[in-house]
Each structure stands twice: as C-alpha cells, then as structure tokens.
C-alpha cells in the first residue's frame, strides 16, 4: 500500500473534495489544493478553501489533525490511489496548490512555482498588489530547486492546463510570532489579503488565453 493511501486511511485524517463550476467548460474551470493541510503545513487548507469558495472554484485537500505531521512527498500524492483526487483532476483544467514552508532568507517571500508560468505571473501580480510588504517570486530560477513544483508527477501539474504551486512562509499564514497576540476570530490582515488575492486571481483568469504550461 502506498504511503499516501495509508495516510488517507488514518481515522483522524480528513480528505475533502468539492467540485464547483459544473456549468463551465473544462478549459475555464480552476481549482485549489492543499494536500499537506491541517497539522502539517498549518493554515494552508484554510487559505485554499476560503479562496476556492470565494472564487466559485473547486477544492481538494488532505487535512491532518493537530499534532500530526506526516509528510508525503508531492510526487507520491497520486490520483491512482484516491477517487477524490482523481475526480478533482478530471474536473479542473488548471490548479493552484497551496503549501507552507519556512527557510532562512525567505521569511517574507511567497514562491510561485509550478509548470504553468503564465498563470504563475497572473497570480503573482495579484499577490503583489494585495501584499506589497512581501517579496513575491515568480522567476522560476530564483526559487530553490526543491520548491519549484516542476516534477511532472506533482499533482499541481496533472490537470491538462497544469498549475501553480505557491509556497507560503509562516508570517503570511499567521503562524509566526508576529501574530501571537492576534485573537481573531477572523483571519489576520495578511492572511485575509492573501485569500482576497488568490480568489481575485482565480476569478479573473481565463484559461487558454495566452497560457503556456511547461510540457
């Protein structure tokens, strides 16, 4: 049994799939993913779900419980062992995957990888406008090689239009010491602006217009 299937079979792990945009042609359907969500890469599933709902886009996520940090490499997250992921990949044309990371020198950087570079630039433009205090990196050569999301087996690249992988530092997810006194209940201002940017980017993207995923 694959490690991904074993994770999905854990009784406290939640696999979520919401398909939206049924009335749209597949070339116009976009989706969000956060399959390292919950206790592993905190708040990624909250960001992806909120942006998807606001944009009327589809969502696929795997949410681990608090305290569980089981990392399955992206290339092992396969639709061959998940009917929900298979349905999601079949439904959408392009995807935006949300990940979390923390690395010295990138604590205020959002890394916009994935094989669909036109969509990456489109999303990056919205992120820069909503989050001017952050460095939004869309130059693929400036992103650390292990965070570029270019492997063909990475789920972000499986839909026909491929997609964009966004790596979010703790600060913009509200999980850094900067936000320890934030009481909520709403998202902190940076995370709220992030959701707005992603929803706006998804809602204004017209797939097929000047798109050029790397193949």
Distance CA 64, CA 7 (A): 9
210: Cβ contacts below 8 Å, ≥ 6 apart: 118
Distance CA 112, CA 178 (A): 23
31-84 pLDDT tens trace: 999 999 999 999 999 999 999 999 999 999 999 999 999 999 999 999 999 999
Cβ count near 56 (within 10 Å): 14
Distance CA 71, CA 47 (A): 19
Query: Can you say how many angstroms the Cα of residue 194 is from the centroid of all Cα atoms in its chain?
Result: 12
Distance CA 116, CA 119 (A): 6
Tell me which residue of 37, 44, 34 sits closest to 172, measured CA to CA.
44
Q: How confident is the model at residue 212 (pLDDT cuts 50, 70, 90)?
A: low
Residue bearing the bigger pLDDT, 32 or 209: 32
The overall average pLDDT reported for the chain is: 94
* pLDDT of 210 higher than 50: no
Rounded mean pLDDT of 2-20? 98
207: Cβ contacts below 8 Å, ≥ 6 apart: 27, 28, 29, 30, 93, 94, 161
Q: Tell me, what's the pLDDT at 213?
A: 63
Q: The pTM is what?
A: 0.94
Q: Tell me, what's the pLDDT at 193?
A: 98
* pLDDT of 113 higher than 70: yes
Domain map of the chain by residue range?
A: 3-204
120-147 pLDDT tens trace: 999 999 999 999 999 999 999 999 999 9
* pLDDT of 211 higher than 60: no
Alpha helix positions (H), the chain: 3-8, 44-55, 83-91, 117-130, 170-173, 189-204
Given the candidates 3.40.50.2300, 3.10.150.10, 3.40.630.100, 3.30.565.10, the CATH classification of the domain at 3-204 is: 3.40.630.100
Long-range contact pairs involving 187-194 (C-beta distance under 8 Å, separation at least 24): 187/46, 187/50, 190/131, 190/133, 191/43, 191/46, 191/47, 193/130, 193/131, 194/47, 194/127, 194/130, 194/131, 194/168
């Amino acid at each position: 049994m694959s490690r991904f299937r074993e994770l999905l079979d854990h009784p406290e792990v939640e696999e979520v799939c919401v398909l939206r945009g049924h009335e749209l042609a597949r070339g116009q359907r976009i989706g969000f993913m956060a399959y390292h969500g919950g206790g592993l890469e905190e708040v990624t599933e909250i960001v992806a779900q909120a942006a998807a709902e606001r944009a009327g886009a589809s969502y696929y996520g795997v949410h681990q419980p608090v305290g569980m940090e089981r990392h399955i490499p992206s290339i092992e997250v396969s639709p061959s062992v998940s009917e929900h992921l298979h349905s999601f990949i079949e439904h959408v044309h392009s995807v935006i995957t949300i990940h979390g990371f923390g690395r010295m020198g990138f604590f205020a950087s959002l890394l916009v990888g994935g094989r669909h570079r036109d969509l990456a630039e489109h999303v990056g433009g919205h992120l820069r406008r909503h989050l001017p205090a952050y460095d939004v990196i869309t130059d693929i050569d400036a992103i650390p090689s292990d965070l570029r999301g270019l492997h063909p087996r990475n789920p972000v690249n499986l839909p026909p239009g491929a997609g964009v992988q966004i790596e979010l530092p703790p600060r913009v997810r509200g999980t850094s010491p900067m936000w320890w006194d934030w009481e909520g209940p709403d998202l902190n201002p940076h995370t709220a602006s992030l959701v707005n940017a992603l929803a706006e980017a998804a809602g204004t993207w017209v797939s097929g217009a000047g798109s050029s995923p790397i193949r």
